[in-house]
Amino acid sequence: MSSPILITGATGFIGRHLARQLCANGDADRVRCLVRPSSDVGELERLGVKLVHGDVTDWDALRAATEGCGQVVHLANLYSFWEPDPSVYRRINVEGTRLTAQAAIEAGVDLFLHVSTVATFGRPTEVPFNEDSQPGPKRFSEYAQTKLEGDEIVEALAQEHQLPLAVVYPGSVLGAGDPKSSGRYIADIVYRRMPATLFADRVVTWVHVNDVATVLQRLLALENAGGRRYIVGGSRVTFHQLNRMIQTASGTRPPRLEVPDWISLLSARLLTGIAQLTGWSPPFGLSTDVARTMIGGVQADGSRVCRDLGLTYTELRVAVEEAVAALDE
């Protein structure tokens, strides 16, 4: 049997799909997952993978989890646009990434597959931007900033310690059972909880969750994936277009009222200020970081992975339909 594959963040949205694909491919005996004691591991237990309790801030747990592994997929991160204690971003996305990479170096892995995000590019001058584009001068959220710092750490460790590194930059991920902000957005439209359409003409790069998992699986299957960098995102659409897809899939008409970006940003700043005083998340997730990210837009070119790894992107319509259908389950 080939050496084990460790997945951090295996109970997350992408992680669950990757574990399913690996197990469907007959690799269940090789899959090892680092999971927190508080996580819902029911599906992972049914898949028959090995569970190691701990998290990416726990050095002893990371050493135990990586021991004997040939490959590490680092998915664990804090994907959020508002936290009552902002220091948690740096603890997980920066220091957690550093510790995971260091444990992988100590274990002598053949591949450290680091999952980043297109948000680390900010707003480059090149539109759409690709893997070789120079990032824009600023990040629009604490999430993006700390993910960038995590990227810089693993790149430095790869150079200093010859860590075989590959990096994947997913766009906004959609699909059935999405617990993230994008999934909540679809639910808010379907259940008529959104009072208005925000950021209507802003473009975001979207991708089906299965496509991201497929790219990760194909990189794991390569003999030498080190040095590869891939943006994974096949659909650049506005929120107007996304809302029409949601309407087609659900029969629910999106809000007629459209709010200009400047009002959305002003509202986000007000709601974020209130959230900082109360400790409650901003309504509809409308934080300052969300508003700045959406206004900045994300127009990424994910075609290279199609040429190199033979990926065919799933239509965004399918991801939306699956996400809507799962709301009734």
pLDDT category, 304, cuts 50, 70, 90?
A: very high
| Alpha-carbon span 140 to 96, nearest angstrom | 21
pTM over 0.85: yes
Residue 48 within any structural domain of the chain? yes
Contact 72, 50 (CB under 8 A): no
Contacts of 37 (CB under 8 A, 6+ apart): 53
Q: Per the omega criterion (within 30 degrees of 0), is the bond before 128 cis?
A: yes
| Alpha-carbon span 167 to 225, nearest angstrom | 10
* SS3 state at 255: coil
- Stretch 245-257: mean pLDDT: 94
Residue 88 within any structural domain of the chain? yes
Exposure b/e, 273-302, CB count within 10 A at least 16 = b: eebeeeeebbebbbbbbbbbbbbbbbbbbb
Range of the domain at 50: 5-173+207-233+301-309
Residue 70 within any structural domain of the chain? yes
Strand partners, 319: none
Token output for 52: 């190691």
- Stretch 139-158: mean pLDDT: 97
Residue showing tokens 């997980």: 92
Token output for 122: 């900010």
Residue 202 within any structural domain of the chain? no
Residue 21 within any structural domain of the chain? yes
CB atoms within 10 A of CB 270: 13
On the 0-12 / 13-18 / 19+ scale of CB atoms within 10 A, 60 is exposed
Q: How many CA atoms lie within 13 A of 181 on its CB side?
A: 19
Instruction: Categorise residue 235: left if φ over 0, alpha if ψ from -120 to 50, beta otherwise.
Output: beta
The whole-number pLDDT of residue 1 equals: 52
The whole-number pLDDT of residue 284 equals: 87
Looking at every residue in the chain, the average pLDDT score rounds to 95
Residue 149 within any structural domain of the chain? yes
**Gyration radius of the chain's alpha carbons:** 19
pLDDT above 70: percentage of residues in the chain: 99
Residue 249 within any structural domain of the chain? no
Residue 221 predicted with pLDDT over 90: yes
| Alpha-carbon span 65 to 309, nearest angstrom | 29
The whole-number pLDDT of residue 329 equals: 66
Residue 26 within any structural domain of the chain? yes
CATH of the domain at 76: 3.40.50.720
The whole-number pLDDT of residue 225 equals: 94
pLDDT category, 210, cuts 50, 70, 90?
A: very high
Total number of domains constituting the chain: 1
Residue 122 predicted with pLDDT over 90: yes
Smallest CA-to-CA distance from 219 within 209, 232, 205, 207 is with 232
Residue 2 predicted with pLDDT over 90: no
Residue showing tokens 């646009």: 81
| Alpha-carbon span 158 to 162, nearest angstrom | 5
| Alpha-carbon span 292 to 119, nearest angstrom | 11
| Alpha-carbon span 28 to 50, nearest angstrom | 8
What is the sign, positive or negative, of the torsion defined by CA atoms of 185, 33, 82, 208?
A: negative
Token output for 321: 């339909």
Q: What is the pLDDT of residues 22-56, one digit of tens each?
A: 999 998 899 999 999 888 899 999 999 999 999 99
Q: What is the pLDDT of residues 260-284, one digit of tens each?
A: 999 999 999 999 999 999 999 999 8
Residue 176 predicted with pLDDT over 70: yes
The pairing of beta strand 165-170 with beta strand 172-174? unpaired
